[in-house]
Amino acid sequence: MSAAPPAIPPGLRAGRAALAVSFLLQGATFALLVTCIPEIQHRYGLSDGLLPVFLAAVPILAGVGSIASERVVRRTGARAVLRVVQPAVCLSLAGAGLGDALWQLGLALGAFGLLVGALDASMNMLGVGLQHRYGRSIMIGFHAAFSGGAILGAAVAGLGSHYDLGLPVLFGTAAAVVAPLAVLTGTRFPGAAELGDAVREAAEAAARSVPWRPLLPLCLAMAFAYIADASVSNYSVKYLTDGLGSPEDVAKLSYLGYMVAMLLGRALGDRAVQRWGAVPVVRGGAALAALGFAVAAAAPAAWAGIAGFTVLGLGICAIIPQVFAAGGRLFPDGSDAAVARLNLFNYVGFLVGSPLVGAIADASSYRWALLAPMLLVLAVLPLAERFAPAPVAAPAPAVA
C-alpha cells in the first residue's frame, strides 16, 4: 500500500496561490504592452525601421535585470525583490503611455525590460522553492496563470481600442489597478517560515556543473520556439492593422486567440504526452505551429490571420514545456541547472525574433516576414528525437 502524500501546510498553499496571482498580473501587464505596439508606434512617431531596435532592447535589458537580480536575491531574498519590482513594472508601463518623445519611450521601455528581467527571475526562484517543498511539479500551473493573465490583458487592450481610450488612460488605469494588487499579493508570498531550506537547496542544485553540449539541441529548440513567440507578441497586431487593414480592436484578437490556445494546450499537454509520448507531441506541435504561420501569412482578411495565430499558439505550447522536461531527464541530479541554462534561450529567441521579423517586413512585407519564423519552427522537427526519455537499461542475464 503506497504512503499517503505529505500534508501541505496552509501557509505554503497561501504562498502558492499568491505566486500564481503574481504570474497572472505579470501576464496581463505584458499583454497590455505588446498588444498596444501599433498605438505606441503612432504616439511616438516611431518608424518601422526603428521599431525593432526599441523592441530588441527590452529582452537585452531583461537579461541584464535577470542576472543583476540574482546578486540582490542572495542578500535580500526572492520575496523581497519580487515585492518591489512587480509594482515598479506597472509604473514603467504607465510611463510608456504618458510620454510623447522618443527618449521618454526609451526610458520607459528600458525600465520595463530591466524590471521584467528581475521579476521573471525572482518569480521563478520562488516557484522552484515552492516546487521543492511540494515535492512534485507545480511550475506549469504558474505559467498557465501567466497565460490566463495575458488573455485578460489582451481583452482589456481590445476594449481600450474599441472605445478609443488612448494609451495614457489605458496604461495609467491598468497600473493604478494592478500595482496595488501586486503590493497586496506580495504580503502573502512564501518566506523562510514556509520554504525552509528549499530556496537554498534549489540554488545549490542550480550551481551544479552541467555540460552545455548535450543541451545544445534543446537550446536550439527553445530559441526557435521563442522566436516564434516573439514574432506573435510583437507583430501579430501590427500585421493585422498594417498588412490586412484590420481595425485595432479586432487586430488584438490575434494575440488573444494565440494566448487562449496556449492556455488550452498547457491544460491538455501533459495528457497528450502521457498518451502518445514526447517525440510525437513535439513533432506535431512544430508542424501545427508552422501551419499557423502559413495560414497567417496567406490570410486574405483579419479573421484568417486570427485563426492562423490561434493555431500557432496551440502548436508552440507543446514545445516549450517539453524542452524543460527533456533537460530535466538528461540531468536528473542537476535538473534546476539544466532548466536555468535552457531558460537563457528564452531571451535569445526574443532578441532574435523581433529584429528578424521587423527587418524582413521593412524590406518587403509582413507576409514574407512571417515565413522566417515558420522555417525556424520547422527546424524543430529533426530535433524532436532529443525529447525522447532515456531508454531503460535491460536487466543483466542471470548467471547459471
pLDDT digits (tens, 9 = 90+) for 249-277: 888 899 889 989 988 887 776 677 778 87
Q: For 311-342, b where at least 16 C-beta lie within 10 A, e where not — what string?
A: bbbbbbbbbbbbbbbbbbebbeebbbbbbbbb
Return the pLDDT at 47: 83
Query: Can you read off the three cell numbers belonging to residue 376?
Result: 525556424
Residue among 225, 210, 206, 213 at smallest CA distance from 321? 225
The fraction of the chain above a pLDDT of 90, given in percent, is 29
Give the model confidence (pLDDT) of 329-380 as tens digits: 776 666 556 666 676 677 777 777 777 888 888 888 889 999 999 999 999 9
Return the pLDDT at 395: 44
pLDDT surpassing 60 at residue 198: no
Alpha-carbon separation of residue 390 from 270, 274, 278, 327, 330 (angstroms):
18, 15, 12, 11, 8
Binned at pLDDT 50, 70 and 90, residue 194 comes out as low
Alpha-carbon separation of residue 55 from 20, 109, 113, 358 (angstroms):
27, 8, 10, 9
Helical (H) or strand (E) element with 56: helix 51-76
pLDDT surpassing 70 at residue 388: yes
DSSP category for residue 3? P
- Contact in structure between 213 and 369 (CB atoms under 8 Å): no
Q: Which of 20-34, 102-116, 209-223 has the lowest mean pLDDT?
A: 209-223
Binned at pLDDT 50, 70 and 90, residue 86 comes out as very high
Give the model confidence (pLDDT) of 201-248 as tens digits: 555 555 555 667 777 888 888 889 889 988 888 888 889 998 898 888
Mean pLDDT of 22-50: 89
Return the pLDDT at 125: 75
DSSP category for residue 241? I
Return the pLDDT at 338: 65
Q: Which of 8-12, 23-27, 391-395 has the lowest mean pLDDT?
A: 391-395
Sequence-separated (6 or more) residues with CB below 8 Å from residue 129: 78, 190, 195, 198, 199, 202
Mean pLDDT of 188-202: 63
Q: What is the mean pLDDT of the chain?
A: 82
Higher-scoring residue by pLDDT: 183, 233: 183
Residue 135, phi-psi category: left (phi > 0), alpha (psi -120 to 50), beta (remainder): left
Residue among 252, 9, 26, 242 at smallest CA distance from 120? 26
Distance CA 14, CA 10 (A): 6
Distance CA 186, CA 188 (A): 5
Q: Show the CA angle centred on residue 383, arms to residues 265 and 386, nearest 5°.
A: 85
Distance CA 119, CA 101 (A): 27
pLDDT surpassing 60 at residue 197: no
Query: Whole-angstrom distance between the N-terminal and C-terminal Cα of the chain?
Result: 34
Residue among 391, 368, 359 at smallest CA distance from 48? 359
Return the pLDDT at 370: 92
Mean pLDDT of 133-152: 78
pLDDT surpassing 80 at residue 159: yes
Mean pLDDT of 268-295: 85
Return the pLDDT at 392: 43
Side-chain half-sphere exposure of 40, counting CA atoms within 13 A: 29
Mean pLDDT of 171-183: 94
Binned at pLDDT 50, 70 and 90, residue 286 comes out as very high
- Contact in structure between 91 and 118 (CB atoms under 8 Å): no
Sequence-separated (6 or more) residues with CB below 8 Å from residue 259: 31, 147, 150, 151, 154, 313
- Contact in structure between 193 and 81 (CB atoms under 8 Å): no
Return the pLDDT at 396: 43
Distance CA 329, CA 363 (A): 43
Phi, psi of 208 (to 5 degrees): -65, 145
